[in-house]
Amino acid sequence: MQWNDCVDTIFQRLYVVKEWRGLFKENPVLADAFGSRQVLIGAIVLIKLAKLCYEGKDMQKFMETHLMAAELFAAPAKLSLPHPQPAIEYASYSFQEYFDGRLPGENQLFFDKQVI
């Protein structure tokens, strides 16, 4: 599947979806190791993989891809302290800096909002 190949390319390792827990243990700060943009793109790809390939067919893989994507979505927030740390606090939190630019003079993480 091309979705799996995309995730493998982002993390530069084969079969990342099967072995993601080991990869995350090796790299506790994912956004620092792979880049904020890459981990967010990886999370989006994983959600699409789960929806298009595993939903209603393989619930174990469906849940594993969602768990991996959840970790990836939270990874950029672990780079700084003003962001929520407990998982429950992300329910009402939005990452404004990804759309508006982090600091004056810095580039936006995603220039085109339609990418997300």
Q: How far is CA 30 from CA 72, 79, 103, in A?
A: 8, 9, 22
| Rounded (5°) CA angle 95-100-105 | 125
Q: What is the pLDDT of residue 75?
A: 80
Q: What is the pLDDT of residue 103?
A: 47
Q: What is the pLDDT of residue 95?
A: 65
Measured CA to CA, the distance from residue 109 to residue 101 in angstroms comes to 7
Domains in the chain, number? 1
Q: Is 95 exposed, middle or buried (0-12, 13-18, 19+ CB in 10 A)?
A: middle
pLDDT digits (tens, 9 = 90+) for 48-106: 888 888 888 988 889 988 988 988 888 877 776 676 767 777 777 766 555 554 544 54
Which domain range does residue 12 map to? 2-115
**Contact indicator for 77, 40 with CB cutoff of 8 Å:** no
State if pTM tops 0.95.
no
Instruction: Tell me the three state secondary structure of residue 2.
Output: helix
